[in-house]
Structure 1
Amino acid sequence: MLFFFRPFISVLKIYQFPGVVHLTHEGHGYLFSWEDPRTSELELSWMEAREFCQTHCMDLVGLETQEENILVKERLAKGNQSYAWTGGRKCNFEGCDRPDLKPVSVYGWFWVGSHKKLPPTTNRLDADWSNTGGLGVPQPDDREHRGGGPSEDCLAILNNLHSDGIHWHDIACNHRKPFICEDSDIVPHDARSEVPQLPVDMLFVWAT
């Protein structure tokens, strides 16, 4: 998978401006790509967005508390953004064959920046999946894959695109979107890791 994003590293050098933080919450800093004039029009694939965040010793945002989720959604609405990438990822690669991750569509979602699992997608109270989407069914629905396209393995926040308010949707990772970075305690030691190389045994259950 290196061939997918390595050529982009040289392009990332144009956008290196460490220290930029648009919001601080509970000791963590957040960077919203659309809030800086240098990246206000920049839209990247999920992997490219993660690489961007990592060059700033950050990672794609993990919405691990209700308060954090609300803050980020308010920022998306204030910026009049239609969508944005988060650090949500489906664990469907090598090493994800643990019994507690099955079925992956329900138990296999996690935040890449912290390696924490999301609640099961059947838990509609502790997560923020939309109740509808392109197929008119609750998220995640893997819509593109059902239609013969790529699997929808990455998590984005969509702003009322399906008349559903601002909520989480599973999206194919090759789509290009604005993105949100968050300080990560893991990135400085793992700044060049690809998602399939994450230590899956570090994933643990949602902390409420």
Structure 2
Amino acid sequence: MCLCPPSSVLCMWTRGDCWSYYYSDTTMNWQKARDWCQKHYTDMVAIQNQEEIQHLNSWLPKKDTYYWIGIRKVNEIWTWVGTNKALTAEATNWAQGEPNNGKNENRMGAIEDCVEMYIKRDAQPAKWNDERCGKNKTALCYTAACKNDSCHHGECVETINSHKCVCFEGFYGEKCEQAITCNKEELTAPDKGSVNCTHMYGDFSYNTSCEYSCEKGYQLNMSRPLRCTPPKKWSEQPPSCELIQCQELPPPEKGSMKCSDPLGPSSYQSTCVFSCDEGHVLIGSSSNTLQCEASGSWNASQPFCVGTPTHFRFY
């Protein structure tokens, strides 16, 4: 603990970071208290949990007017103004019967939207009370241990001793600097296909996206890319490349159809040649030969056979 006039500071050192509290030598209303904290330090104190509450009550000197803390009612929600976060159940520490916003509002017309902390009070020490913001109390401030680079991929949370990093999904490490990785051996390229991966945070790490593609004449049975997810698992099983099929063609009436299927029946590169019985001709298509293309369609419409006109005799 170090006392630094004109205000006091409590420093707890861990790994070179300082989580410090300051308080004013004079009293002021809530808004002036916040302005003073923001001008000289980080902001009014934002309390994280019961451990911090007990720490403050143990170390701070008793003041008859008590201390303003950095919480106000915003849109009917008690909110830490410095972090713009709603009050959590873990940090809640209201005195018995509080917050009541009661008698003062009715009698004096002022709403109790600000909060004071009973440091070393004989009754209910360290508890909170909602109070009129215009009253004068000691400002309670803090300086932040969190810096812009404290947590690479996470949220920096102030603690009594220093700070901690709460990592975002897919990251871990003291500074959330490491991304989880997935097994690259599971990314087998399909037969008649290939795979190409885009890495955001390192090879085959979190959010790596792997796109699959197939050779001409084949198509994926699942078009979505695979993604490396937080359980260190790929989002799906690798897809396979399936031979493209064209609609099966029936032989024409009064005719025949002969097909060649190098890869499979009615599939990519299949070729069908049509012919008609004697006395009939092909119509309805630009060619008597149809081929199954990579689009999954035949290259022309299917022909059909019709009878030739009857020759009339004249007597």
Q: CA deviation at 1:116?
A: 1.4
TM-score after normalising by structure 1: 0.58
1:154-206 Cα deviation digits (max 9, x unpaired) = 111124768333310001100001121012489xxxxxxxxxxxxxxxxxxxx
Matches of 1:159 and 1:23, distance apart in 2: 15
Amino acid in structure 1 at the alignment position of 2:86: K
Q: Equivalent of 1:74, from 58, 69, 75?
A: 58
The aligned counterpart of 1:24 is 11
| Alignment check: 8 A CA contact 1:21 1:29 kept | no
5+ long unaligned stretches in structure 1: 1-16, 34-38, 97-103, 132-137, 187-206
Matches of 1:158 and 1:147, distance apart in 2: 23
Q: Which has the larger radius of gyration?
A: 2
TM-score after normalising by structure 2: 0.39
Matches of 1:126 and 1:60, distance apart in 2: 15
More helix by share: 1
1:33-56 Cα deviation digits (max 9, x unpaired) = 2xxxxx2xx100000011111111
Matches within 5 A, 1:192-203: none
Amino acid in structure 2 at the alignment position of 1:153: D
Larger CA deviation: 154-163 vs 59-68: 154-163
Q: Equivalent of 1:168, from 128, 139, 158?
A: 128
| Alignment check: 8 A CA contact 1:156 1:169 kept | yes
1:143-163 Cα deviation digits (max 9, x unpaired) = 311324210001111247683
- The yes-or-no answer on 1:45 pairing with 2:29 is yes
5+ long unaligned stretches in structure 2: 147-165, 167-315
| Alignment check: 8 A CA contact 1:45 1:177 kept | yes
Percent identity between the two aligned chains: 28
Matches of 1:18 and 1:113, distance apart in 2: 24
Amino acid in structure 2 at the alignment position of 1:181: C
Q: Equivalent of 2:94, from 129, 132, 139?
A: 129
Matches of 1:171 and 1:81, distance apart in 2: 16
